[in-house]
Amino acid sequence: MAILKISKKHHKRFNNPFPSPPTTIPNVQGSLFINSKALSSQDQTFSIGKDFHLSWSIINGGHLSISHLSQKNRPVWSTISGKAFVSAAVVDTEIEESRGSFLVKDKDVHLICNHQTIDEIRMINQYEVSVADFPFTEEMKFPTLLITGRLFNMSKKNKRFQKYGVEGNIQFESKGPFVYARYWVLFDQKNKHEVGFQVKIEKLNFGSSDKVSPEGSGVYKGFKKRMSSRKKRLGWFWYLSRPRGFVLVSSVEDESGEMEISKPKEFNRIWLSYASDENERFYGFGEQFSHMNFKGKRVPILVQEQGIGRGDQPITCAANLVSYRAGGDWSTTYAPSPFYMTSKMRSLYLEGYDYTIFDLTKLDRVQIQIYGNSVEGRILHGNTPCELIERFTETIGRLPELPEWIISGAVVGMQGGTNSVRRIWEELRTYDVPVSAFWLQDWVGQRETMIGSQLWWNWEVDEQRYWGWKELIKDLSAQNIKVMTYCNPCLAPVEEKDNKKRNLFEEAKQLDILVKDGNGNPYMVPNTAFDVAMLDLTHPKTETWFKQILLEMVDDGVRGWMADFGEGLPVDAVLYSGEDPISAHNRYPELWAKINREIVEEWKSSKSLKNSNKDRDDGLVFFLRAGFKDSPKWGMLFWEGDQMVSWQANDGIKSSVVGLLSSGISGYAFNHSDIGGYCTVNLPIVKYRRSQELLLRWMELNSFTTVFRTHEGNKPSCNSQFYSNNQTLSHFARTAKIYTAWKFYRIQLVKEAARKGLPVCRHLFLHYPDDEHVHKLSYQQFLVGSEFLVVPVLDKGKKKVKAYFPLGETSGWIHIWTGNVFSKQGSESWIEAPIGYPCVFVKVGSIIGETFLNNLKNFGIL
């Protein structure tokens, strides 16, 4: 039995501003042994369904490879010759939690079975299922392929895991027990372009190294001589720093305890290891903000707060100092996904919700560490990046078409109440700004806290702040302007709020639909400046109750909302479903998206019955920040969370471009950021305040994303706003018109995304995968669909940008402001880009490009 320790750091003050990285087990390597009595000494080929085959080669110790029958010589997945491709271990784990941030640490390693045998490779037809020792399902396409064998331990003396900080010696005891376990790997065809895989490992078997028979221990006759020589040199048992003798699951800060434990019965770690090319680039992994290519990195897949700064200084240091690890790092994200595709057109994703690390630090391999005792996933076949996205999203689900109103003009994010909205509305009309909606996040009322103005998390309108609420909505609707609001899956106690009609926290508590702690009480989760309870989305009563709350909002005339949060489920929570809270943590954002989507679909159905032809474009829409692999199935629109109001790379305007493009590769076809960023800091020695220049450049950037939405930030008075002065208002009008000028193309792209899963905004890799220079790009430039090339200004004081024109494009590119044509493939040019003239190109001869230019002329911009 392994130890799980959960440490709460919510109230820890004056922390290390430069925290060390988590202790993790380095790349696990072992040998592959072949049962020569059971396997042929010749290379073999086995069918997987009708469209794939697996090749077994005995060269250099043996390896496997899977190919699609249309391209037999191009493997989509292969193992490393002579190396184990499945390993397992029993490892102690510590999880540190602090206000939505989570850190997983590997502690003592009790044992590792890092060596592997292959006993049998067997094709199974549907008539043979009853005799195969594996749980088959009716959906499987036969023949399937079953690989069986054993995992076992064997190691050198006194090896240390120091590279990544794992503490303790790996010691060797010659008289200790030999440990092995039987494993099964099943490959089955899921559809024409996907192979599924499952790995299951039985419970551990312990035996004495000097008594275990070869047949009983997985030491096969075919390599008995080879094993015997290793046994004499190394011994059989890999024993890693004796267990400390306690099992601890702590929900209280600094709590500890001990109890005796017996030998472990099952593994809690699995590694999958397979081959990669040295120059292979890896893209995807959900919404990532710092990197596009992940070769050489270890990518953790865990939903959490993205952090404040994420490595940008000095803000990361300051955030870490005042709140434990609040700064985050390059890998922290609201919406990761256990999915990738590569420059070699290989792609793989995992099913399930276990915490996972993709280790890409070795040039010749991929190693996936799964924090569980089984693993399931799929291997994809495709010839282009767009094909791979299409096939991935065909399985996991795609975002639906957005209502046209949300992509027709500016979504004006502001606060202040009815009087403020009507005043700003009048100003916007004066400047002829095309407006789609007012997004009023403070509709529930505000309170002042230590981090700024924050909302009352009690989802009803504050009629003191927004007097005449229904009339305001009606007046805006008469001008085809919608009203959007805000909610999240948390509820705060509101005893101190004077004008409340309902106390939703108390209602949910009485209904017993809140997430519980270990004592059966509502789990009060520290969040920024106050504690909140979370809805238990696994409870059947939650859905009905919460839907009714939001439908009351919709009945008032609201047509959209930000569905915030979803990333903070505590890993020691107790849920109605009884499921493992660590896995449920990654699942919770999908449940949150699902309940919102069901509200949209149910309202749409009821409305269509009443008004079959009226108000076709009156659909509802919500937008999310937290997500996981299947979120595109349940979401509608995403936004990138709380970027800093800065020019920096890891958490400023540059990171918003990287997040936009990486999420698009991962199935999040519709995404956008807050114009100007969100997170403002106004401390005596650390100041991050939104400058006017940053705001104007962010407007230009977002005029080429799916949705064009402003945000005042967490400290509005410290930030330049679109309504600050004549220049900001004029620029806002100009960029909103630029955004509106390509609405016709945006509608096409939204429809294409709903059909194929392709993102609106695209990294150049999607269309030019053979161009080596393209793989070096991250935030520098991007495509809108296939027809626009956008090169944003992302640095303070810059008025020129370097544009790259990719190889493989037969058309030239027209600069929209000067009409200059750039036809040389693989070339770079410096382009003037003063404020108001973002660097954008359209393809020569493109009807879409010509229409866009004509629309700009009609708006008086060009």
> Is 447:524 a contact under the CB 8 Å cutoff?
no
Query: Is there a single domain that holds both residue 710 and residue 603?
Result: yes
> Is 784:790 a contact under the CB 8 Å cutoff?
yes
Number of domains, the chain: 2
Q: Is residue 135 part of a domain?
A: yes
β-strand partners of 725: none
Q: Is residue 777 part of a domain?
A: no
Residue 173 pLDDT? 33
Nearest to 515 by CA among 535, 491, 544: 535
Q: Which of 681, 709, 742 is the last residue of a domain?
A: 742
Residue 263 pLDDT? 64
Q: Report the distance separating Cα 835 and Cα 839, nearest Å.
A: 10
Reported as half-sphere exposure (CB side, CA atoms, 13 A), residue 125 has a value of 1
> How far, CA to CA in Å, does 785 sit from each of 214, 349, 552?
60, 25, 38
Q: Report the distance separating Cα 336 and Cα 328, nearest Å.
A: 14
Nearest to 217 by CA among 312, 321, 117, 348: 117
Query: Is there a single domain that holds both residue 447 and residue 557?
Result: yes
Reported as half-sphere exposure (CB side, CA atoms, 13 A), residue 165 has a value of 8
| Annotated catalytic residue 277 | no
3-state SS, 500-558, equals: CCCCHHHHHHHHCCECECCCCCECEEEECCEEEEEECCCCHHHHHHHHHHHHHHHHCCC
> Is 90:264 a contact under the CB 8 Å cutoff?
yes
Q: Report the distance separating Cα 785 and Cα 802, nearest Å.
A: 21
Q: Which of 724, 742, 760 is the last residue of a domain?
A: 742
Q: Phi and psi (nearest 5°) for 339?
A: -140, 140
| Sign, CA torsion 715/717/722/727 | negative
Nearest to 712 by CA among 725, 702, 700, 721: 721
Q: Report the distance separating Cα 34 and Cα 826, nearest Å.
A: 49
Q: Report the distance separating Cα 829 and Cα 832, nearest Å.
A: 10
Query: Is there a single domain that holds both residue 353 and residue 408?
Result: no
3-state SS, 88-141, equals: EEEEEEEEEEECCEEEEEEEEEEEEECEEEECEEEEECHHHHHHCCCCCCCCCE
- State the CATH number of the domain containing residue 738: 3.20.20.80
Burial class (CB in 10 A: 0-12, 13-18, 19+), 127: exposed
Q: Is residue 215 part of a domain?
A: yes
Which stretches in the chain have pLDDT values below 70? 127-138, 155-177, 208-263, 451-452, 609, 611-617
Q: Is residue 690 part of a domain?
A: yes
Q: Report the distance separating Cα 825 and Cα 827, nearest Å.
A: 6
User: What's the first-to-final CA gap in the chain, in angstroms?
Assistant: 70
Query: Is there a single domain that holds both residue 713 and residue 657?
Result: yes
Query: Is there a single domain that holds both residue 446 and residue 372?
Result: no
Q: Report the distance separating Cα 222 and Cα 33, nearest Å.
A: 9
Query: Is there a single domain that holds both residue 484 and residue 364?
Result: no
pLDDT digits (tens, 9 = 90+) for 795-808: 999 999 999 999 99
Range of the domain at 356: 4-8+32-275+346-381
Burial per residue of 581-611, b for 16 or more beta-carbon CB atoms within 10 angstroms, e otherwise: bbbbbbbbbbbbbbbbbebbeebeeebeeee
> How far, CA to CA in Å, does 505 sit from each of 491, 492, 527, 546, 683?
5, 6, 15, 12, 33
- Give the strand pairing for 298-301 and 410-413: unpaired
| Annotated catalytic residue 106 | no
Q: Report the distance separating Cα 565 and Cα 535, nearest Å.
A: 12
Residue 251 pLDDT? 47
> Is 360:293 a contact under the CB 8 Å cutoff?
no
Residue 174 pLDDT? 30
In the block, tokens 């991050």 appear at 688
| Sign, CA torsion 688/777/335/319 | negative
Q: Is residue 822 part of a domain?
A: no
| Annotated catalytic residue 564 | yes
Alpha helices, DSSP H only, in 300-454?
A: 315-322, 385-396, 418-430
Query: Is there a single domain that holds both residue 375 and residue 464?
Result: no
Q: Is residue 788 part of a domain?
A: no
> Is 370:330 a contact under the CB 8 Å cutoff?
no
H or E element at residue 155: none
Tokens found for residue 602: 């149910």
**Which of 312, 642, 771, 809 is the catalytic position?**
642
β-strand partners of 79: none
Query: Is there a single domain that holds both residue 483 and residue 352?
Result: no
H or E element at residue 579: none
**Which of 536, 567, 630, 651 is the catalytic position?**
567
Torsion of CA 241, 246, 249, 251, to 10 degrees: -110
Query: Is there a single domain that holds both residue 354 and residue 447?
Result: no
Nearest to 2 by CA among 322, 373, 332, 306: 373
Q: Say how far residue 575 (Cα) sits from the centre of its chain.
A: 23
β-strand partners of 148: 120, 184
Q: Is residue 432 part of a domain?
A: yes
> Is 674:639 a contact under the CB 8 Å cutoff?
yes
Neighbour count for residue 579 (Cβ, 10 Å):
12
Reported as half-sphere exposure (CB side, CA atoms, 13 A), residue 587 has a value of 16
Tokens found for residue 79: 């193992």
Tokens found for residue 751: 């429809």
pTM, full prediction: 0.92
In the block, tokens 């070769």 appear at 295
Polymer length of the chain? 862
> Is 378:191 a contact under the CB 8 Å cutoff?
no
ω into residue 143 within 30 of 0, thus cis? yes
Q: Report the distance separating Cα 605 and Cα 111, nearest Å.
A: 56
- Give the strand pairing for 298-301 and 356-359: antiparallel
In the block, tokens 């629109």 appear at 637
Query: Is there a single domain that holds both residue 421 and residue 366?
Result: no
Q: Is residue 500 part of a domain?
A: no
In the block, tokens 């396409």 appear at 141
> Is 316:309 a contact under the CB 8 Å cutoff?
yes
Q: Phi and psi (nearest 5°) for 764?
A: -60, -20
**Which of 329, 460, 543, 564 is the catalytic position?**
564
Q: Report the distance separating Cα 462 and Cα 441, nearest Å.
A: 11
Query: Is there a single domain that holds both residue 469 and residue 362?
Result: no
Burial per residue of 714-747, b for 16 or more beta-carbon CB atoms within 10 angstroms, e otherwise: bbbebbbbbbeeeebbebbbbbbbbbbbbbebbe
Q: Which of 709, 742, 775 is the last residue of a domain?
A: 742
Query: Is there a single domain that holds both residue 371 and residue 419?
Result: no
Residue 210 pLDDT? 44
- Give the strand pairing for 839-843 and 336-342: unpaired
> Is 510:529 a contact under the CB 8 Å cutoff?
no
